[in-house]
Amino acid sequence: MADYPWEFADAHCHLESCAGGFSPSILHITCGYSDKANQRNAQIASENANVRLCAGIAPQEAMKYPDVKIRLVEWEEKIASLPQLLAIGEIGLDFHWAKTQEERFLQHECFISQLVLAERLGLPVVVHSRDAEAEVLEILGNFNLRYMLHCFSGSAEQAQAAVAGGRAVVSIPPMRSKERKKSVQCLPIEKLLAESDAPYIGKSPSDTLEAIKTIAEIKGIEVEAVKKQLLQNTIAFFGVK
């Protein structure tokens, strides 16, 4: 296994909203979710050697705008022009927050548009899915894209189906649940990543270590070995140079 300058990777965080500095021992994958957040995270990535950038419009953001399809023209042009962009995300569907058919439609429009953008740019996608796992996986099946299921909360069967096609990885946050335990148990470690989702689940990227410890415990593998394997998985998925 190659030597890297980082102790472990946080595969998904929002550094524009995190207080304090960024530990040099962590590889941070910072993720935008709105036009403003994308620009701020791009600036952070440009200023920090251990930060890499994803940019996209999240479903919770998309449903705020009845004219989202028009806005996406400008937003996606900005996303495509960002230097050091490694993935489109976070994007997806969130039916926990979308209470009306109109809100679901707006999320769907935004999700599809950005999947097309990812195909055009040849980039993987970071997918947010809440109470919509079946719908998200069905849509992804129509695209030839590699994808990361961020903060995965679906069933173990859905996780297995996703990775079976060879295009998906599943990211585990520092939040335990019976279903996540089942997913970690049934998936090969090569298909797992760990994240903080800071500051929304973990308070900071260092809380990724709790997710790593959980995976190590479930898998019966030493924590240090899991750190190294998941770091390598993250580098491979995002194409980190």
Element (H, E) at 135: helix 133-140
DSSP string, 15-68: GGG--S---TTEEEEEE--SHHHHHHHHHHHHH-TTEEEEE---HHHHTT-TTH
Distances (CA, A) of 151 to 21, 93, 102, 121: 23, 13, 25, 24
Report which of 142, 78, 135 is spatially closest to residue 108, judged by C-alpha positions: 135
Kindly report, residue by residue over 50-79, the tens digit of the pLDDT: 999 999 999 999 999 999 999 999 999 999
pLDDT band, residue 234 (cuts 50/70/90): very high
| Chain centre distance of CA 114 | 14
If 0-12 CB within 10 Å is exposed, 13-18 middle and 19+ buried, where does residue 121 land? middle
Residue 91 and residue 57: Cα distance in Å, rounded? 6
For residues 78 and 67, the answer to whether their CB atoms sit within 8 Å is no
Residue 135 and residue 51: Cα distance in Å, rounded? 31
Per-residue pLDDT at 2: 74
Q: Which amino acid is at 235?
A: I
Q: 195: which 2 tokens?
A: 């994240």
Look at residue 188 and tell me whether its pLDDT is greater than 70.
yes
Per-residue pLDDT at 20: 78
Look at residue 235 and tell me whether its pLDDT is greater than 70.
yes
Kindly report, residue by residue over 141-187, the tens digit of the pLDDT: 999 999 999 999 999 999 999 999 999 999 999 999 999 999 999 99
| Chain centre distance of CA 25 | 20
8-238 folds as: TIM Barrel (3.20.20)
Residue 220 and residue 133: Cα distance in Å, rounded? 28
Can you tell me whether residue 184 is helix, strand or coil? helix
Per-residue pLDDT at 1: 62
**Mean pLDDT across 193-207:** 97
- State the helix-helix crossing angle for 156-164 and 178-186, rounded to 10 degrees: 30
Residue 172 and residue 180: Cα distance in Å, rounded? 8
Distances (CA, A) of 183 to 128, 136, 142: 17, 17, 24
| Chain centre distance of CA 95 | 18
Kindly report, residue by residue over 94-149, the tens digit of the pLDDT: 999 999 999 999 999 999 999 999 999 999 999 999 999 999 999 999 999 999 99
Per-residue pLDDT at 131: 95
Beta bridge partners of 130: 94
Beta bridge partners of 87: 54
